[in-house]
Amino acid sequence: MQIARVALDVPLHRFFDYFVPEGEEMSVAEIGLRVRVPFGRQSKIGIVVELPESSDFPEAQLKTIEAVLRDLPALPADWFRLSEFCAAYYQAPLGEVMLSTLPAGLRRIDPPKARVAKRGAKPGKPQTPPELTSEQQASLAVIAEGGSGFKAHLLHGVTGSGKTEVYLRLVERTLAAGKQVLLLVPEINLTPQLEGRVAARFPEANLVSLHSELTEAARTRNWRAALEGTARVVLGTRLSIFTPLPDLGLIVVDEEHDASFKQQDGMRYSARDVAVFRARERGVPIVLGSATPSLESWANATDTRTPARYTLLTLTERAVTNARLPVVQRIDTRLEKLQDGLSGVLLMAIEKRLARGEQSLVFLNRRGYAPVLTCTACGWISHCTRCAANLVLHLADRRLRCHHCGFEIRVPKTCPTCGNQDILPFGRGTQRIEEVLAARFPQARILRVDRDSAKSRKQWEVLVKQIHAGEADILVGTQMLAKGHDFPKLTLVGALGADAALFASDWRAPERLFAQLMQVAGRAGRAELPGEVLIQTQFPDHPLYAALVRHDYPAFANEQLKEREQAGFPPYAYQAMLRAEAPQMADSLAYLATARAWPQVAAHVDVMLYDPVPMRLARRANLERAQLLVESPSRRALQIFLSEWRELLESIKAPSRLRWHLEVDPLEF
């Protein structure tokens, strides 16, 4: 009987051999088909990876495939190579990688019945593109010179400079050449706006989107259209980078700096980095776009000591005629008395916008009413019982909620410790700022935009329509509003609570803060109305704020890269993080200590292992968490070490409830 080697979604670095069903024969062209196979006491969906002549196991041990699923074309060879690269680089089981990249509907034994897609309205006439600025034309010319083969371009454009228009012109060229386009965005909330623009410009292109808010059936249908080549433009979030595309001709990664491109569970991959590998492997151009590129990408484009890996393209002016970059001012809160967290200067600026019928945005990246509830008598604080974190007060629904594990309770009427009725919120979140502004400006229409008010894409779209329709005067929002959105009437941005990131223990915090503030500042004055940004700070002379005032990302980035090089941080070193979690911290630390004590470590002279330490959030969901950092000046040396070390990690005897994972190129510490 014929044997098929099958990849399964199990945490083992191996494949499994099965007999092909009697009466069936599989050809080499069918490698990549899905199959249903018995595994233990259940059935699983797997992928055929090979048709070997014989098995390493006795034939008596082999089971027979239950069904060969021929409802889809076989997965292509380049998809296999992409999966193999990710499994090797991120030290993940290949079967897990392959199956996790498929839509959930294709991994189920009983997939939902496919419905016929509703026919939309007949495609209208393509929208007429706007005139290009000289900088946009120059960028497109440079990309065109690179030809249709692999070339990585970093498009650094200030907010409102027309990066999206550059993407659309590239899409136009690629479609004209008969090729497919993959557009990656960091968050679901950014898909409707870009989706609308692409669909309006290319109504005949059969655009499909791929993200987690689609139904299983819709996601499967769109994925299938991409695999079969009928969809010519695919727009999606990070998992879309694994979508099979037979005619791929261009990859675009919008907001390439965004941390949302990094997967934080399962295989912890960076969609941006995987996109660059895929473009190189397929021999197609890739464009990474951002107003605040990641420092890794910036170094790849600007480091003069090595041949530039990326071509730097720059857009310094806003694309809309007469639109200017907003004026950024610092409000020294050491001199300016705050009223419920808001300075008089900011309140006066909001009042002026209300009088002129313009919109204001108060930005605070902290949702809820207050970060903590406390007792003034005994000092009780609303700690989470499951995490080393506080419960956040959400006054709108009278709940105390943990933003880490999801645990929540009703707000107590008295202090749980001493019975004191005088328990008060401490600090400020978006709900509290909304309340303060409503009291200060009773005539204003205030709209809060955060994860509590926009839990789904539909809720988000309703809020965006309200803003565009001018049905809100003051917006109170988190980072959800910080990027990619174009609100013509918005002319004022006030940023609160930014200082905390200046002295955080995470060395990436300044990079994230600068990106966040520059992105949110970019919402102001995108049309012909002039914009203003007010930043409340106790450190107005800090270099980060000085660069922000000048809109000078290159100066900030170059200074940060100097500091990182001196400290030996990425991109001048390569890192991996081994994390363990267990009910007892002693077990987590003991596992990491055993891993560190591996005798073969001494043979890897270019690799350094630090001491195991508790994580910053040491307890989460009743598990005690610790980590061990591995570092090397050589990416290759680190990879060689990790591939050998992983076998040891899998062999260490540990308590049954201990879980560990290895993350390559960690973003968070």
| Mean pLDDT computed over 561-580 | 96
pLDDT recorded at residue 440: 96
Nearest C-alpha neighbor of 579 from the set 666, 639, 656, 637: 666
pLDDT recorded at residue 122: 59
Residues of the chain with CATH 3.40.50.300: 134-315, 327-367+429-560
Nearest C-alpha neighbor of 661 from the set 575, 593, 577, 601: 577
Asked if residue 379 lies in contact with residue 420, where contact means CB atoms within 8 angstroms, the answer is no
What's the chain's Rg over C-alpha atoms? 27
- The hierarchical CATH code for the domain 3-107 is 3.40.1440.60
Q: What is the mean pLDDT of the chain?
A: 93
State whether residue 72 is helix, strand or coil: coil
What count of other Cβ atoms lies within 10 Å of the Cβ of residue 447? 19
Helix (H), strand (E) counts: the chain: 17, 31
Hey, what amino acid is at 588? Answer: S
Angle between helices 191-201 and 457-468 (to 10 degrees): 70
Using CA atoms, how far apart are residues 383 and 304, in angstroms rounded to an integer?
50
Instruction: Domain 327-367+429-560: state its class.
Output: alpha beta
Hey, what amino acid is at 296? Answer: E
Query: Which tokens is 409 given?
Result: 């309770």
pLDDT recorded at residue 112: 63
| Interval 291-350: pLDDT, tens | 999 999 999 999 888 788 999 999 998 887 667 889 999 999 999 989 999 999 999 999
Report which secondary-structure segment, H or E, holds 123. Answer: none
Of the listed ranges 116-120, 208-212, 413-417, 553-557, the least confidently predicted one is: 116-120
pLDDT recorded at residue 460: 83
Residues of the chain with CATH 3.40.1440.60: 3-107
Give strand ranges (E) for 31-112: 34-39, 42-50, 63-64, 67-69
pLDDT recorded at residue 1: 87
Asked if residue 233 lies in contact with residue 202, where contact means CB atoms within 8 angstroms, the answer is yes
| Interval 430-452: pLDDT, tens | 999 999 999 999 999 999 998 88
pLDDT recorded at residue 396: 85
DSSP-assigned states of every residue in 457-508: HHHHHHHHHHHHTT--SEEEE-GGGSSS---TTEEEEEE-S-GGGGG-SSTT
State whether residue 179 is helix, strand or coil: coil
Hey, what amino acid is at 557? Answer: A
| Mean pLDDT computed over 109-137 | 75
Confidence check: pLDDT of 47 > 80:
yes
Asked if residue 5 lies in contact with residue 49, where contact means CB atoms within 8 angstroms, the answer is yes
Report which secondary-structure segment, H or E, holds 389. Answer: none
Nearest C-alpha neighbor of 487 from the set 458, 463, 513: 463
Tell me the Ramachandran region of residue 226: left when phi exceeds 0, alpha when psi lies from -120 to 50, beta otherwise. Answer: alpha
Render the burial of 475-502: b for 16+ CB within 10 Å, e for the rest.
bbbbbbbbbbbebbbbbbbbbbbbbebe
Cβ-in-10-Å burial (0-12, 13-18, 19+) of 360 comes to buried
pLDDT band at 120 (very low <50, low <70, confident <90, very high): low
| Interval 69-98: pLDDT, tens | 999 999 999 999 999 999 999 999 999 999
Please identify which residue in the block is written with the tokens 């890192």: 575
Residues of the chain with CATH 3.30.70.360: 574-664
Residue 46 contacts by C-beta under 8 Å, 6 or more apart in sequence? Answer: 6, 7, 8, 9, 16, 34, 35, 36, 37, 95, 99
Return the C-alpha torsion angle 78, 83, 87, 88, nearest 10.
10
Report which secondary-structure segment, H or E, holds 437. Answer: helix 430-440
pLDDT recorded at residue 113: 67
Confidence check: pLDDT of 545 > 70:
yes
Q: Parallel, antiparallel, or unpaired: how do β-strands 392-394 and 16-19 relate?
A: unpaired
Nearest C-alpha neighbor of 4 from the set 22, 23, 26: 26
**φ and ψ at 327, to 5 degrees?**
-80, 125
Confidence check: pLDDT of 607 > 70:
yes
Please identify which residue in the block is written with the tokens 């540990």: 654
Instruction: Domain 134-315: state its class.
Output: alpha beta
Confidence check: pLDDT of 115 > 80:
no
Nearest C-alpha neighbor of 453 from the set 473, 428, 481, 425: 481
Asked if residue 658 lies in contact with residue 580, where contact means CB atoms within 8 angstroms, the answer is yes
| Interval 474-523: pLDDT, tens | 999 988 877 667 788 999 999 998 998 888 888 999 999 999 999 988 88
User: What pTM did the predictor assign?
Assistant: 0.93
pLDDT recorded at residue 486: 75
State whether residue 578 is helix, strand or coil: strand
CA 103 to chain centre: 18
pLDDT recorded at residue 119: 52
What count of other Cβ atoms lies within 10 Å of the Cβ of residue 114? 12
Confidence check: pLDDT of 367 > 60:
yes
| CATH 3.40.50.720 is held by the domain 574-664 | no
Residue 505 contacts by C-beta under 8 Å, 6 or more apart in sequence? Answer: 616, 669
